Every structure is written in structure tokens, then in C-alpha cells.
């Protein structure tokens, strides 16, 4: 319970920093750096009258509804919580509190400092098993029906939003939006490397096949089946051994809880997990 409270507190801090980066640097300069926030900026410009924060509420409600229909109910409560807390903070700072905003002529400063805040914020949220929803849901839907990797699909969706920003505002602003997307991705990975440890999970369950199928097909992670014998019963059984990113742990535990509430799960923190899907061994210093 204490660990869950800690994760919610840190996730809230993460989305708060992300909202500050958006409101202070990105929104005033029309830098639509992907995500639902970028799409909300574009809609605010095209339609007018409706604030960016309100557009975020509308978009995320529609995206979650679409996700539940097309992908299924695999969104954790923490993801829903973090998504709408981000909406709340953006709307609060943009419309109600009216905090100072950077609107200088040098958009590179807006991109740089905006990315520092949003990347640190999102990395903190990711490291605590949270996600801010948004275009992640679009990526999941496209990945399900077109069988493309989620990471690649998400990057393509964000790039499409950056290009659309160029048509909506101007080419210069669109190029800065694309630059912000690229820098943001690199910075989030950089911060996560400092924040998160990799995780290995040992799973003993009567429904290993269902759990294994989810890990292989939905998370696109590998798994190893170990043959074991119960010390007391003397009966043979399979043990599922999986290596994960720290931010993926919550989703896996949520799935195991739904498939087999009686499963026996051991979670280990690992300093390094090296190989396919993780860091290459020659990158370790």
C-alpha cells in the first residue's frame, strides 16, 4: 500500500512538471510536440474559442472510449488518473492561475526548456508505472490492426501531429515541433536510464499460457519457461521468467491479477538487463 501511494505521489509530480513545460513553453509558442496536447493546440487554433485544456479533456475522453472499444480494458487506473491529472493541471495553469509564460522570439529556448520539464515529468511518471494516455492509445489501436511495433507507431503518430502543426501554424513552427518530438524522445530515455532499474519477474501460475500470450503479443517482450519441481508436492510445473522495463511492471501485474489472482509472483530489481529489447552489452561502461 505504501509503495502504491508513493507511485501515485511521484506520478502526480511527474504530470505536474509535464503540465508546466506545456503551459510555460509549448502552448504559448504553438509547439505541438506530438501527443494529445499537440493535437489540442492544433484544434484550438483551427476551431478557436475552446481552450487547450478543455480540448485535452475532450480528446482523452474520446481516445479512452475508442481504446476500450477497439483494444479492450487493459488501461490501468493509474494511467487514467495520470492522464486526467495532466489535463487538470494544464487547464488550471493555462486558464485559471495564469502563470508566467515564455513568448520570446527564440523558439529554440522554448523547445529546450520545455523539453527539460516535460521529459523529466514524463520520465518520472513512466518510472512509476504511469502513462499519460493520449496518442499512446492511437498507437495501440494501429499496432493491433496493422501489426506494427507500438514504439514505431507512436513515433509516426507524433510526427504526423508535428507535420500537421506546420500546416496549421507555419512551416517554421512545424519544424520546431518536430525538433521538440525528437529531442523529447532522447531526453525521456536519458532521464529514465537514471531513474529506473530493469525488472525481472518470476511467475508461477496455473494459467501460464494466458500470461505468456499477453507478454509476447501485447508487450512484445520475450519470456523463458523454466522447468521446476515442487519441494513439498514433488510435482513438476512450469515457471515463467520475464525481463521488463520498470514502467511495464504495473501493466504485467494488473494482467496477472485479472488472469490468475492466485498466481505466485516474485519481482526482482536488476541493475542491468542486456540484450534484445534492452541495452546492448557493448553499451555498458
pLDDT 10s digits, 181-236: 998 888 877 776 666 567 889 999 888 889 988 888 887 788 889 999 988 888 88
**Considering 165, 195, 225, which residue would you say is the last residue of a domain?**
195
Count of domains forming the chain:
2
Question: Are 215 and 175 members of one domain?
Answer: no
Question: Are 115 and 239 members of one domain?
Answer: no
Question: Are 32 and 71 members of one domain?
Answer: yes
Domain limits for position 31: 2-195
**What pLDDT score was predicted for residue 285?**
42
Which one, of 64, 74, 269, 18, lies nearest residue 10 by Cα?
Answer: 18
Q: To which residue does cell 504553438 refer?
A: 30
Question: Are 205 and 163 members of one domain?
Answer: no
**Considering 151, 176, 195, which residue would you say is the last residue of a domain?**
195
- Band (97; pLDDT cuts 50, 70, 90): confident
Question: Are 169 and 221 members of one domain?
Answer: no
**What pLDDT score was predicted for residue 165?**
92
**What pLDDT score was predicted for residue 151?**
66
Question: Are 190 and 258 members of one domain?
Answer: no
Q: Which helix (H) or strand (E) holds 267?
A: strand 264-270
**Considering 163, 195, 227, which residue would you say is the last residue of a domain?**
195
Q: Identify whether the C-beta of residue 194 lies closer than 8 Å to the C-beta of residue 175.
A: no
The CATH number assigned to the domain holding 263 equals: 3.30.70.120
**What pLDDT score was predicted for residue 123?**
83
Question: Are 176 and 205 members of one domain?
Answer: no
The dihedral over CA atoms of 37, 42, 44, 48, expressed in degrees to the nearest 10, equals 180
Which one, of 35, 9, 10, 11, lies nearest residue 22 by Cα?
Answer: 35
Question: Are 246 and 267 members of one domain?
Answer: yes
Look up residue 203 and give its three cell numbers: 511467475
Distance CA 158, CA 140 (A): 13
Mean pLDDT, residues 84-101: 89
- Band (284; pLDDT cuts 50, 70, 90): very low
Question: Are 187 and 264 members of one domain?
Answer: no
Question: Are 160 and 218 members of one domain?
Answer: no
Amino acid at each position: 500500500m505504501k509503495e502504491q501511494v508513493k507511485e501515485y505521489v511521484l506520478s502526480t509530480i511527474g504530470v505536474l512538471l509535464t503540465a508546466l513545460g506545456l503551459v510555460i513553453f509549448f502552448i504559448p509558442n504553438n509547439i505541438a510536440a506530438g501527443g494529445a496536447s499537440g493535437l489540442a493546440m492544433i484544434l484550438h487554433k483551427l476551431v478557436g474559442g475552446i481552450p487547450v485544456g478543455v480540448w485535452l479533456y475532450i480528446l482523452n475522453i474520446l481516445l479512452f472510449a475508442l481504446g476500450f472499444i477497439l483494444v479492450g480494458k487493459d488501461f490501468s487506473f493509474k494511467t487514467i488518473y495520470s492522464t486526467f491529472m495532466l489535463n487538470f493541471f494544464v487547464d488550471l495553469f493555462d486558464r485559471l492561475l495564469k502563470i508566467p509564460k515564455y513568448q520570446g522570439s527564440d523558439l529554440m529556448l522554448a523547445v529546450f526548456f520545455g523539453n527539460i520539464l516535460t521529459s523529466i515529468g514524463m520520465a518520472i511518471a513512466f518510472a512509476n508505472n504511469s502513462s499519460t494516455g493520449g496518442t499512446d492509445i492511437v498507437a495501440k489501436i494501429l499496432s493491433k490492426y496493422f501489426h506494427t511495433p507500438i514504439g514505431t507507431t507512436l513515433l509516426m503518430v507524433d510526427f504526423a501531429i508535428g507535420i500537421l502543426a506546420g500546416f496549421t501554424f507555419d512551416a517554421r513552427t512545424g519544424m520546431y515541433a518536430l525538433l521538440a518530438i525528437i529531442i523529447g524522445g532522447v531526453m525521456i530515455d536519458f532521464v529514465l536510464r537514471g531513474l529506473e532499474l530493469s525488472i525481472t519477474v518470476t511467475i508461477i501460475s496455473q494459467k501460464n499460457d494466458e500470461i505468456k500470450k499477453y507478454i509476447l503479443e501485447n508487450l512484445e517482450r520475450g519470456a523463458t519457461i523454466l522447468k521446476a519441481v515442487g519441494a513439498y508436492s514433488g510435482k513438476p510445473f512450469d515457471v515463467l521468467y520475464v525481463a521488463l522495463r520498470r514502467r511495464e511492471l504495473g501493466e504485467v501485474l494488473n494482467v496477472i491479477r485479472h488472469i490468475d489472482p492466485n498466481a505466485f509472483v516474485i519481482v526482482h530489481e536488476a541493475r542491468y538487463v542486456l540484450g534484445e529489447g534492452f541495452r546492448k552489452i557493448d553499451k555498458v561502461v
